[in-house]
């Protein structure tokens, strides 16, 4: 398997490079100018020209890209034009918040999608199936902006059970080692802190997980439906296996491959794509950072973030491909 992994990682390098070149060109071709955004309302033409020169934006695009690549190869992603901090540090500061949110969303999605999808498939066209599919359609179609605001209104505003925003209350300062608050609180044995972190995670996690759950539920259903009609499932029943085993061991397990594939893609999207949820819940994650970077035309930060996110995407897909072997032992890597 090792040669396979090495081959995959090596083949990912040109992909990541191509993505970064594409994004670089796109950012420079798109209308808008970072310096105008930086200097604000009072800037004159002379100020704009001076700042452009200071940031090297008056250089040809090819030179700018070459410089970016040379620095990136040395592990230096540059300094954000808008935030003034090193891009690597900005991303690392925001990454834990997004990873925790994505992880919870994933759990929410799986916990909802697998049972409902399987039940809907096994009891096709029953009332439960219709209800399950309607719920899935609801999950897919409702905008996360609306759902998030609704959850905030009900659980934070009216019931006041859960907080409306952020990762922690203002009165709390946690000792941190990793930046992952769930892990930090467990490491320091701060159980109450852990509960607080969970409280803050719940609403954004549900919002982000709900739309993914919708997609996955439909996928699980159709995939299970396809599998349980196969001969080997009939054989399993014929040999007298308990129905639960027939469905879970022979049905669901074999139905998982497309589900895991889509899950991997969704996971990739969620890392950079949870912009709306992060904005609604004032969640200090990568999505919001990327949005601020794009809207302020912070070329350096956009470029660095895209490099990190595309690497993440490639990595997740590699993990997905490797997990096929665990799901179906017949799959070999060469």
Show contacts with other proteins in window 258-297 (CB under 8 A): 279-282, 284-285, 288-289, 294-297
Q: Shortest distance, CB of residue 309 to other proteins, whole angstroms?
A: 17
Print burial letters for 139-162: b (CB count within 10 Å at least 16), e (below 16). Answer: bbebebeebbbebbeebbeeeeeb
- Residue 125 found at the interface with other proteins (CB under 8 A): no
Q: Shortest distance, CB of residue 122 to other proteins, whole angstroms?
A: 5
Of these, 46, 62, 73, 127, which contacts other proteins (CB under 8 A)?
A: 46
Span from 4-12, 136-144, 159-167, 324-332 in contact with other proteins (CB under 8 A): 159-167
Identify residues 300-329 at the interface with other proteins (CB under 8 A): none
- Residue 62 found at the interface with other proteins (CB under 8 A): no
Of these, 23, 68, 94, 219, which contacts other proteins (CB under 8 A)?
A: 94
Q: Shortest distance, CB of residue 33 to other proteins, whole angstroms?
A: 4
- Residue 167 found at the interface with other proteins (CB under 8 A): yes
Q: Shortest distance, CB of residue 103 to other proteins, whole angstroms?
A: 15
**Residues whose CB falls within 8 Å of the CB of residue 287, separated by 6 or more in sequence, listed in order:** 98, 272, 273, 274, 275, 276, 277, 278, 279
- Residue 57 found at the interface with other proteins (CB under 8 A): no
Compute how many residues bind other proteins; rule: CB under 8 A: 96
Of these, 57, 237, 265, 325, which contacts other proteins (CB under 8 A)?
A: 237
- Residue 199 found at the interface with other proteins (CB under 8 A): yes
Q: From CA 193, how far away is CA 268, in angstroms rounded?
A: 29
DSSP string, 153-201: IIIIIIS--S-SSSSS-TT-----SSS-HHHHHHHTT-HHHHHHHHHHH
Q: H helices of the chain, where?
A: 2-29, 34-39, 45-54, 61-73, 87-122, 127-141, 144-151, 181-187, 191-227, 231-238, 243-245, 253-273, 275-280, 286-295, 299-327
């Amino acid at each position: 398997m090792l040669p396979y992994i090495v081959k995959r990682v090596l083949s990912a390098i040109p992909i990541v490079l191509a993505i970064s070149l594409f994004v670089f060109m796109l950012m420079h071709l798109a209308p808008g100018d970072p310096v105008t955004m930086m200097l604000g309302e009072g800037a004159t033409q002379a100020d704009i020209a001076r700042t452009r020169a200071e940031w090297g934006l008056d250089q040809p695009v090819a030179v700018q890209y070459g410089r970016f690549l040379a620095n990136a190869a040395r592990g230096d992603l540059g300094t954000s034009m808008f935030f003034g901090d090193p891009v690597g540090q900005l991303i690392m500061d925001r990454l834990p918040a997004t990873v925790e949110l994505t992880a919870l969303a994933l759990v929410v999605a799986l916990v909802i999608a697998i049972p409902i999808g399987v039940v809907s498939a096994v009891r096709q066209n029953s009332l439960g199936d219709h209800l399950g599919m309607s719920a899935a359609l609801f999950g897919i179609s409702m905008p996360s902006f609306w759902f998030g605001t609704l959850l905030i209104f009900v659980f934070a505003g009216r019931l006041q059970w859960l907080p409306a925003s952020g990762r922690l209350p203002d009165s709390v300062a946690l000792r941190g080692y990793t930046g992952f608050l769930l892990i930090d609180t467990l490491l320091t044995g701060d159980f109450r802190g852990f509960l607080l972190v969970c409280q803050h995670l719940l609403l954004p996690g549900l919002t982000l997980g709900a739309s993914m759950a919708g997609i996955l539920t439909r996928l699980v259903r159709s995939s299970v439906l396809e599998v349980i009609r196969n001969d080997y499932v009939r054989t399993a029943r014929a040999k007298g296996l308990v129905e639960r085993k027939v469905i879970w061991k022979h049905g669901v397990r074999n139905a998982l491959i497309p589900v895991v594939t889509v899950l991997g893609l969704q996971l990739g999207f969620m890392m950079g794509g949870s912009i709306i949820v992060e904005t609604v819940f004032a969640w200090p994650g990568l999505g919001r950072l990327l949005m601020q970077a794009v809207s302020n035309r912070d070329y350096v930060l956009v470029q660095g973030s895209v490099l990190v996110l595309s690497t993440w995407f490639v990595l997740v897909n590699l993990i997905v491909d490797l997990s096929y072997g665990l799901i179906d032992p017949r799959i070999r890597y060469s």
